[in-house]
Amino acid sequence: MPSWRGSSGCNGSRRTFSALPMPRSWRASTTICRRSPTRWHSVRRREHELCGGHSVSIRPIPGTVDRATVTMPRAVLGLGLAVIVVGVITAAPHAHSVLDHAGGAMLVFLITMAAGSLLQVRLPSGELISPVAQAIAIGMAFGSQMAGVGSLSYRSEGVIVASAAGLIVGTLLLTAWTRRSQPSALVAARLVSVAVAAVLYRTVPIFHGSTALERYPEWSSSRWRMTLVMFAIGLVAAAVELVLATAVTTRERSFKQALIEGGVAAGPVSLAVVSTGIAIALGLAPLGLLSIVLMVCPLVLLRFTILQEASVRLTRRQTIAALSRLTEVAGYTPPGHSHRVAMLSVRVGRSLRLPERDLVVLEDAALLHDIGQVYLSEPIPGGATVEAAPRDQDSIASEGADIVRRTKALDDVAAVMEAQATQFRLVREHGDQVPLASRIIKVCNAYDDLTRGDSARRSEAIERLYLGLGYEYDPEVLEALVGVVEGISGRPD
């Protein structure tokens, strides 16, 4: 039978953390880190209280969003509109000659871009991309010669106008098809990326007064040189899109961290897009416009692969969500506890700058952190493991990790769950390796056990947690929890 009376709690006749044997240096450091409990009685009640119910969102609390979060998408959208305006103004004087010479080809590019915009995919990072449309736009920017037409001498502003038309029409079609508004700032980021590629290839004299387009006929016998030039320009354009897209989508992470994670997530797809665009451009000479259809086929297949991977991830998330409710249905934990702990853990993890992949593992482990309670002979009163003895907490964590390991696909989640009951003093005294995610779950679980989702208990819960600061709980994690509960976005970059 679980030994509740031997727990290291703070109220009633149970021992408090402050009564536990702690080294002198620890007591001193704990005193320095501890905030005055009376501060919590004067904290202003907010309209939005974290974890006040079961439907907790990980979106920023209203009023706490950085001004840049709102202004950056507008700035990127404004940049895209400026590119369109400049492109239209500079293309107007040459429109008649360009349409006579390559109007048909540009119309085909525009139509295929619009159709390709319908084939959107969502990366694991959550970013929406249109690889087919982007590759076709890059192919038009790099187009130099085409069968039946000869030299494609249209200017970079023509590429900008045609790309803008294709991407805008495609976005409108996608909105009508899905009945969901599309992020216009991301469309602007793609357009700016295409504009960079077109200007660098067709306008900027990067080869001793000559543009890359003008060097195309001269390098007919060594086409690999032009391929390398296109690839380099394509990488620059992809980098521009990555920076702008990151500026649009970054919310609770630092820009640098989001940029690195975005590069890792979107890098392979961006390379595929650039390579496909180059293949389209080089294929125009022998194949004509047929090269557009032939060269984008691998990207279409790649889209299906990404969608299948997304389906697997969704199934995994649904399975974890169903398992997380097992203890609630069986009466071991109160309704909504696992969900609240998971959402709070993600917020704390973001404030501590955990990478996005680690946040996924953290959320999964937090959802399943109490599943080991199903092995208990008698439920813990209220399901609050914070009231259980350390031995029982370790047993629950170990049993839960064993259950998760049987899936053969969640070993990283199991490792976090297994260490969630470890006291922080073991890290300080013995150098035990306890994942940061485990320390986050320990603090967030204790907080929700004490508040039960009731924000009115927030002050009392924080005071209780501070009694175990440095001994039971990681001071850094607890400070992050305090910041999140107060509605602060977290530590400065």
Split into its structural domains, the chain has a count of 2
Q: Are residues 71 and 177 in the same domain?
A: yes
Q: Are residues 49 and 71 in the same domain?
A: no
Instruction: Note whether residue 229 is domain-resident.
Output: yes
Q: Are residues 192 and 269 in the same domain?
A: yes
Nearest CA-CA partner of 166 in 146, 204, 142, 139: 139
Q: Are residues 465 and 391 in the same domain?
A: yes
In sequence order, the 6+-apart residues with CB closer than 8 A to the CB of 482 are 35, 462
What pLDDT sits at residue 282?
93
CA distance 274 to 120: 17
What pLDDT sits at residue 86?
94
Give the Å distances, CA to CA, from 481 to 50, 237, 251, 446, 448: 11, 40, 18, 11, 11
CA distance 54 to 51: 7
Q: For 369, which DSSP code?
A: T
Q: pLDDT-derived band of residue 125, with 50, 70 and 90 as boundaries?
A: low
Instruction: Note whether residue 190 is domain-resident.
Output: yes
What pLDDT sits at residue 250?
76
Instruction: Note whether residue 315 is domain-resident.
Output: no
Instruction: Note whether residue 320 is domain-resident.
Output: no
What pLDDT sits at residue 252?
63
CA distance 235 to 258: 19
Q: Are residues 87 and 205 in the same domain?
A: yes
> Does the pTM of the predicted model rise above 0.75?
no
pLDDT digits (tens, 9 = 90+) for 261-298: 888 888 889 999 999 999 999 999 899 999 999 999 99
Q: Are residues 235 and 303 in the same domain?
A: yes
Q: Are residues 213 and 153 in the same domain?
A: yes
User: What average pLDDT is seen over the chain?
Assistant: 80
- For residue 369 the two structure tokens come to 């952190």
Q: Are residues 127 and 263 in the same domain?
A: yes
Segments forming the whole domain that contains residue 454: 4-54+335-486
Numbers of helices and strands, H then E, in the chain: 19, 4
Q: Are residues 296 and 444 in the same domain?
A: no
CA distance 55 to 94: 57
Q: Are residues 346 and 448 in the same domain?
A: yes
Compute how many other C-beta atoms are within 10 angstroms of the C-beta atom of residue 416: 28
CATH number at residue 29: 1.10.3210.10
Q: Are residues 236 and 169 in the same domain?
A: yes
Mean pLDDT of 62-90: 75
Instruction: Note whether residue 181 is domain-resident.
Output: yes
CA distance 64 to 106: 46
CA distance 166 to 160: 10
Q: For 16, which DSSP code?
A: P
Q: Is 417 exposed, middle or buried (0-12, 13-18, 19+ CB in 10 A)?
A: buried
What pLDDT sits at residue 275?
95
Instruction: Note whether residue 214 is domain-resident.
Output: yes
Q: For 24, which DSSP code?
A: H
Task: Please say which residue of 287, 307, 327 terminates a domain.
Answer: 307
- Lowest mean per-residue pLDDT among 49-63, 80-94, 204-218, 414-428: 49-63
Q: Are residues 237 and 105 in the same domain?
A: yes
First to last CA, the chain: 48
Contact 323, 368 (CB under 8 A): yes
CA distance 464 to 462: 5
Secondary structure E strands in 98-173:
121-122, 128-129, 145-146, 150-151
